[in-house]
Amino acid sequence: MTRYTNADFTDDDSVNSVQFTEGISTSATHIRYHTGTTLWRQRSKLEKALLALVATLIFVILVLAIVVHTMEHRLMSAKNFHIEMVEKQPCLSKNCIHIADDILQAMDPSIDPCDDFYAYSCNGWIKNNPIPDGKTQWGTFSKLDQQNQLIIKRILDKPLDQLKSKAEQKAKMYYESCLDVNDTMEVLGPKPMVDLLRKIGGWNISESGFNVRKWSFQNIVQVVLNKYNIGALFSYSVGEDDKNSSKHVLQIDQSGLTLPTRENYLNKTEHAKVLEAYLDYMTKVGVLLGGEPNSTKEQMAAVIEFETRLANITTPSELRRDEESLYHQYTIADLQEKAGFIDWRKFFEDGMRVVKKKITTKQQVVVYAPEYLSNLTELVKEYNSTLEGRIALNNYMVWQTVRSFTGCLSKAFRDAYKGLRKALMGSEGGEEPQWRYCIQDTNNVLGFAIGAIFVREVFHQDSKLQAQDMINNVRNAFTKNFKNLDWMDEDTRKAAESKADAISDMIGYPEFIKDINQLDEKYESLKIRSDAYFENTININYYNLVKNLEKINEPVNKTAWSMSPSTVNAYYTPTKNQMVLPAGILQNPFYDPTYPPSLNYGGIGVVMGHELTHGFDDQGREFDKDGNLNHWWKNETVSKFKERTKCFVDQYDDYKINGKSISGNRTLGENIADNGGLKAAYNAYLQSMQYRAEPQFYPGLNLNHKQLFFVAFAQIWCSAVTNETSILQIEKDPHSPAKYRVIGALSNLKEFGEEFKCKEGSKMNPKRKCEVW
């Protein structure tokens, strides 16, 4: 800095002196001489000398002022240049290099981001992560889930006395029974199921004591649903009353299909292989249980025919999205008149006997499918009128029980399912290690015991606190946007703000799992043995039934969780107005405390926004801030909302996978949540960075952090899936396929097009954009 100043000052002083002197001299001469007089000649030598000195001093001062000003300007320019150069230096720390490498490995820069942002963000990931043997799909969710399984396995492999609670010990025993470490399942073979068949009254396919002359339809329904907790013909449970969510009520809905979708039965041309594989599976199981092959196949074909009749009267899921139209409250007496195929009072008395609760004909029941139950009454009446029909009805009810427990029998039974699994999902599934299946199964049935292990091992309190801050930021961004929604009337807007503010946030885990006594008490009545997988499964079904029925007429605990803490997922419950983010998903790549805000908001921030927006999708919006189903929107606003959602239906209807169109109606709620969640998370990110400098960019990535937000969002959906599973997802899943969860939401967000400079009319920046929230 010193050298620069000195050199510049000297050069400028020399040049400016000449210019300044010449300018003054010429001008003065011209003016003064024009008057015909001159004062200079009248001065004495001393005066001339003093005046010359003063002039010289003024000149020096002016020159110095110019030099200082010039130096300040140049120094400021140099400083700014230096700062700019520092900001443009990439972050070269070990963590930054690792993050950059992960992002780059997943990307495909050869793709134009304005043409297909999913391919741009994920082609590299798909190439580098082929679907593992035995899997039907593979993505960031499943990779993280497998990492979580390793953590849980390490603990469950410890000796029993090293586990901290009786609940965790039960989890270990259940896990060991699933692994069949003593080969108990192979030794017993079909015996556990044969014994069960005799207990429930026998099966016409095998020699197990079935006598159609003594058979009672009422009895088989009660045994299958009330003792073994199998959803056959219909399902029932105790849940929050949609219109009074502070109390529990009995609920009944359509159920009873074995195959995933009604299309599997009704579209026989497209699903011929699936139906053939299903019949083959049923026949193999029947033969393993003692059935004669030809007779078994014939009787199983009759069961498929009955299930096809059920599929015909089952309402498609895309037509069941209006919660208000689904809700029908009956007394048991009214239900008996509507659907008299069983004695409902007798049925519920039988079920409630185990929890010592009384039922009268005035008991309230919420029915979600009254027309289905009415049609089912006619179908059962038809079958029950003949000897052959009664045999088919019993075969169907018993089959629902048998198929629910075949996975707990010897390898021959488990192998029987492989053909159907391949037809449905494109993989037999046999190559995956048994321990992984058993960890998942244990998590499903003793999830809070597993959760206690998982949280203790890997989850930090700091993550919970930081996640809470992010949720608050996303919520604030979401509600702040309400003022921009010109389709909402003022009263509805204020009510919506109140609902958003009232959403409770459950993060990480429920507190009770950290209290050994409370955790043990939860599973106290559950009996588990390490050498009895079949019996364990039956005990768990019964345990879950009792725990559910105990809630009848009891107040609702709105802080209760319905998902294991180790699960890589999240959910929103409208009747509780509650969103839950388990510890399992609060990990890389969704969230990492070492990540910059762009990546965390693009990952877990969008997940938070998604769940929040579910409170305002086409179904969630029907529930108020207290979780009650009521008409709290003005009619005009409802109409405008539906007009906007129609845009989403049309948009997603146009997307195809393997030539098959997505259903915009079936996926509407999730699409609204994807779009609203992305927008809320992005706005929250921008607000969080309002008074913060943008972090350094990553080496090898020519992207700013706003762009990285969108890449992070896209990359949490990177996945590969078999053709069969993709078709099954389109027919069954309420979520759009991963590719279109990315493309659909981003193409509707104008800020995305602006950041990537996508021309209007390009695939990722269409002129017509859909927007609700």
CA 449/CA 494 separation, integer angstroms? 41
The H or E element that residue 95 is part of is helix 94-106
HSE-CB for 240 with a 13 A CA cutoff: 21
Which tokens is 323 given?
């919660």
Tokens of 542: 């019964």
3-state per-residue secondary structure call for 529-557 = CCCCHHHHHHHHHHHHHHHHHCCCCCECC
Contact (Cβ atoms closer than 8 angstroms) between residue 239 and residue 248 = yes
Tokens of 25: 């001299």
Q: Is 116 in the active site?
A: no
Give the pair of three-digit tokens for residue 714.
């896209």
> Look-up: residue for tokens 């606190």?
465
Of 116, 674, 724, 755, the active-site residue reads 674
Alpha-carbon distance values, 719 to 123, 599, 722 (Å):
9, 18, 10
Query: How far is residue 200 from each of residues 210, 241, 583, measured CA to CA in Å?
Result: 9, 33, 41
Residue-by-residue DSSP string for 685-698: HHHHTTTSPPPPPP
CA-nearest of 314, 306, 313 to 390 is 306
* C-alpha 52, offset from chain centre: 86
> What's 605's DSSP letter?
I
Q: How far apart are CA 745 and CA 707, in angstroms?
A: 15
**Could you give the CA distance from residue 498 to residue 577 in angstroms, rounded to a whole number?**
11
Give DSSP secondary structure letters for 219-266. Answer: HHHHHHHHTS----SEEEEEEEETTEEEEEEEEEEE---SSS-THHHH
What is the distance, to the nearest Å, from the Cα of residue 636 to the centroid of all Cα atoms in its chain?
Answer: 31
Full strand arrangement of the beta sheet holding 571-573: 504-508, 578-582, 571-573
Selected catalytic residue, list 116, 242, 611, 617: 611
Residues 676/678/681/685 CA torsion (nearest 10 deg): -140
654 annotated active-site: no
Alpha helices in 689-748 (DSSP H): 705-715, 723-732, 738-747
The whole-angstrom distance between residue 690's C-alpha and the CA centroid of its chain comes to 28
| Residues classed as catalytic | 611, 674
